[in-house]
Amino acid sequence: MPFTPFHLGPGLLLGLLALRWLDLPAVLVASVLVDIRAALVFFGVLDGPLHGPFHTFLGATLLGVVLIAVSLPVRPTLDSVLAWLRLAQEPSIKRIVAGACVGVWLHIVLDAILYADMAPLAPFPGNPLLGLVSVTAVYIGCLVAGVLGVGLYVLAASGLIELLPRSAGR
């Protein structure tokens, strides 16, 4: 996506819907982490293809592993912020791993639908996801997911719905 924040919409919606199983901060960070190298290429700091090695399932998974390693010691410090946002989750290695994997893989799927220069299954060539749905559908889907994610958050933060059962994650 030319605008990395588009990835936050699907990440937020999916992260909230699966809050019981996914660490929300891990999903959100992972959903944009893949584009750090692409941004450096775009702005001329690095050379090479825009959608390089991290825009593959293998490369994104390696980024996810780095995120997991960084998240494990840092995640408990986010508890007060998450509680303030009314998104309290008990830190869990399983949730962090799942959230990081879902976030980076979601990024790859969305970009692979849009960009011919990607080889998401590298080292195997080709992009079987290219054009699976229209570019417009992907952008509208990301925007709708973002709006739904924010709406779901507002409903949960206001106490109108509960995203986690009382016994799960708190």
Whether 111 is in a domain gets the answer yes
Q: What is the pLDDT of residues 40-55, one digit of tens each?
A: 999 999 999 999 999 9
Domain count along the chain: 1
Percentage of residues of the chain with pLDDT beyond 90:
87
Q: Is residue 164 part of a domain?
A: no
In order, the DSSP letters of 111-164 are: HHHH-TT--TTTTS---TTTTSS-HHHHHHHHHHHHHHHHHHHHHHHTTSS-SS
| Full domain range(s) for residue 21 | 4-157
d(CA 152, CA 116): 34
pLDDT tens-place string over residues 149-158? 999 999 999 9
pLDDT at 168 over 70: no
83 belongs to a structural domain: yes
24 domain residue, yes or no: yes
pLDDT exceeds cutoff 60 at 169? no
Q: How far apart are CA 140 and CA 91, in angstroms?
A: 33
Secondary structure of the chain: what % helix, strand, coil (to 5)? 65, 0, 35
Q: Return d(Cα 97, Cα 69) in angstroms, integer.
A: 9
Is residue 52 in a domain?
yes
Question: Is residue 57 assigned to a domain?
Answer: yes
CA atoms within 13 A on the CB side of 9: 17
Q: How far apart are CA 129 and CA 115, in angstroms?
A: 9
Mean pLDDT, all residues of the chain: 93
pLDDT at residue 4 in the model: 80
How far apart, in whole angstroms, are the C-alpha atoms of residue 23 and residue 15?
A: 7
Residue given tokens 């220069």 in the structure block: 117
Judge whether 10 lies within some domain.
yes
Measure the CA–CA gap between 45 and 41, rounded to whole angstroms: 6
Whether the pLDDT of residue 162 is over 60: the answer is yes
CA distance 12 to 81: 16
Over residues 46-72, the mean pLDDT reads 96
Confidence at 167, pLDDT banded by 50, 70, 90 = low
